[in-house]
Chain A
Amino acid sequence: MTYLLRDVSTMTVRGLRLVSRDVDAIITAVLLPVIILLMFVLVFGGAVDIGTDYINYVTPGVILLAAGFGAANTALAVERDMSSGMVERLRSMPVTAWTVLSGHVAASLVKNLVTTAVVFGVSILMGFRPEATPLEWLAAVGMILLFVGWITWLAALVGVLVRSPDAAGGFSFFVMFLPYVSSAFVPVDTLPSWLRGFAEHQPVTPVIETVRSLLAGDVATVADPGGVAALAIIWCLGLGLLFAVSAGLAFRARR
C-alpha cells in the first residue's frame, strides 16, 4: 500500500515532467484556452445577449472546454506508453503497472489547475467579476477538478484501447463536442428542442451551472440537495469511477 502511493507519486512527477516539457501540451493547456476565451468574449460576445456580461457567463465553459483539449493529450501520452515498451518494462517489475495511468491522470489534474488559474486570471483582467467567497472559490475549483477527473480517466481508457496515436488524437473531437451542446456558451433554452433534451441531460450542463452559481455567490442553488450541484457531483463521480475501473480492466486485459 505504501509502495502504491509512492509509485503513483513517482509516476505523477514523471507525468508532470512530460507535460511541462511538451510544447504542444503547454500550448493546449495555456495558450489555446486564452485564445478561445478571447474569441468567445470579443467575437461572439457582442452578438450573444443573455442579460448579463457574457464574460461572466462563458468563463467556466472555456475552462471545461480546455479540460477536453488536455484530455486528448492524456490519451496520446497513455497510448505512447502502451506502444513504446514503457508499460512492457513496468509489467516485468514488481510495481502495479497501472500506476502509470494514475500518474497521467494526476498530472492532468495539476495541469488543468494551471489552466484554470490562467483562464480565471485573464478573464478577471477582461472584466469578469465573480462574487464568490474563498470557500466558494475552493468549491468551484473542486467541481472543475471532478469534471477533469472523469474526462481524464476516459482519456486514459481511450489511450489504452486505441492502437495508434492518430486514433488517440481523434478522441478530442468527442470531448470537444460535449461543452458546445450544453449551457457552457449559450443558455440551453435557445437550442432546438431535440438538442435541448441532450444538453439538459449530459454532465457538462450541471457542472457549468454549479460552477457559475458558486462564482456568483449563489449558495442557495448549490446547497439544494436535489439541485444541479448534487447532480453534477453524481455525474462526475459516477463517470469517473466507471472509466477508472474500465481503464484499469482494459489495461490488464491488453497484452
Chain B
Amino acid sequence: MAAIVTAEGLHKSFARRGSTSPPVLDGLDLELEEGAVLALLGPNGAGKTTTVRILSTLLRPDAGRATVAGFDVVRDARRVREIISLTGQQVAVDGKQTGAENLTMMGHLAHLPRRVVRDRVAELLTAFDLADAASRRVDTYSGGMRRRLDLAAGLLTRPRIMFLDEPTTGLDPRSRQALWDVVRAVVDEGTSVFLTTQYLEEADRLAQRVALVDGGRVAAEGTPAQLKRQVGEAGVELTFVSPADAGRVAPVLTAATVTAATVDGARVRVPTDGSVAHVRSVLSVVEATGVVPEHWEVRAPTLDDVFLALTGHVGQDRPARSAEVAA
C-alpha cells in the first residue's frame, strides 16, 4: 500500500528570537498508509497538534517537507484542502444553529451541489444518530452529540484523509465508545485517518500503526503489538502486603521457574506465555510459600508500559510547553 501522508524532518519553533525554549517539532518523520489509521500518541506539548496543523495546511513548517496524497502541504495547499477534513480539538459548530443548519452550511462552503448537500446531510445525521436532534439548536446538545456533529461536518465531502486532533478529550466513556465506532465506520468506507491522542487505549483500539511522539520527534513507531513486544512479554503480577513478603517469594519463584522474577516494591512479576499450565504452576509455587498475595493478575504490557520504557516517563505527566498552548 502506498503512503497517503508523509512527513520528513519537520521542524517548527514558536520561540521568539533569543529565547532558549526548545522547538515544538524537532525533525519529525512519519507515514500514513492509504486506508489505515495512524495514531500520534504523546503527552501535552509533544508536538501532536502542531503536526496536524502543518499536515492540514494551517501552519508552515520551518524546515522539512510534508505531502498529502502526493501534494506538498505548502506549495499545493489548495489541492490538499480539497481532499482532507480537519476536526480540531475544539468543536467547530455554531451553538445557535441547528444540527442540520450547521451541516448544510459546511456542505455549501465545501461547494457541493445543493442537492448533494441535502442528501448527504440527511444521510450523516442518521448515521451519527442525530436525526432526532437535527432541527434542535446545538446549544441544547450534549458534549458527545456536539462531537459527533463536528465529525459529521468533516465528512460531508467524503474526504480521502481525515485529521482528528484529540477527538475524544473530555468525553465520557460511552460517548468515547460511540465515537470510536464512528471512526471505524469511516475507515471501512475507505478514508484514511490521522489521529492524535493522549489516551493509550484509544491508539490501541483504533490504530493499525502508532507513532509515539516525545519532544517533537517520533520516539517509536509500529503496530500496537510490535511496540508492546519491544517492552516484553506478558507476566504474572503478584502484589503482596509488604515488600518483605515480596522479597521472600521472589527467590523461590526464580528457583522454581526458568526465568527470573523481578521485584518492584511489594510487587513481583514473572514472565509468562499466558498458558493455563504455566500460570497455574506459578501460582502453585506462590501457594507453597505460604505467603498470601493481596492481589494477582496476568498482565500484557500496555502502551503505558511502552511509553515508559521508550521515553523514560509516563504519558500524561509532562507539563505542556507554553508555545503549543499559545499556538
A27 to chain B, nearest CB (A): 15
Q: Does B58 contact A (CB under 8 A)?
A: yes
Contact pattern, B 261-289, Cβ under 8 Å of A = 1, otherwise 0 = 00000000000000000000000000000
Q: Does B309 contact A (CB under 8 A)?
A: no
State which of A10, A94, A255 has its C-beta within 8 Å of the C-beta of B108. A10
Q: Do A14 and B97 touch (CB < 8 A)? A: yes
Q: Output the nearest chain B residue to A10 by Cβ-Cβ distance.
A: B108
Which residues 174-189 of B have a CB within 8 angstroms of A?
none
Q: Output the nearest chain B residue to A2 by Cβ-Cβ distance.
A: B111
Q: Do A6 and B108 touch (CB < 8 A)? A: yes
Q: Do B97 and A92 touch (CB < 8 A)? A: no
One of B86-94, B239-247, B298-306 contacting the partner: B86-94
Instruction: Provide the bound-state CA to CA distance between A88 and B81, in Å.
Output: 12
Known: A91-B58, A94-B78. A18 touches B96 (CB 8 A): yes
Interface residues of chain A: helix, strand, loop or mixed (majority): helix
State which of A3, A84, A85, A94 has its C-beta within 8 Å of the C-beta of B81. A94
Q: Does B82 contact A (CB under 8 A)?
A: yes
Q: Output the nearest chain A residue to B97 by Cβ-Cβ distance.
A: A17
Q: Do B58 and A255 touch (CB < 8 A)? A: yes
Contact pattern, A 1-18, Cβ under 8 Å of B = 1, otherwise 0 = 001001100110110011
Q: Does B221 contact A (CB under 8 A)?
A: no
Q: Does A125 contact B (CB under 8 A)?
A: no
Q: Do B96 and A21 touch (CB < 8 A)? A: yes
State which of B87, B89, B101 has its C-beta within 8 Å of the C-beta of A17. B101
Q: Does B57 contact A (CB under 8 A)?
A: yes
Contact pattern, B 57-93, Cβ under 8 Å of A = 1, otherwise 0 = 1110000000000000000001001101111111110
Q: Do A85 and B91 touch (CB < 8 A)? A: yes
Q: Does A90 contact B (CB under 8 A)?
A: yes
Residues of A within 8 A of B (CB): 3, 6-7, 10-11, 13-14, 17-18, 21-22, 84-86, 88-95, 255
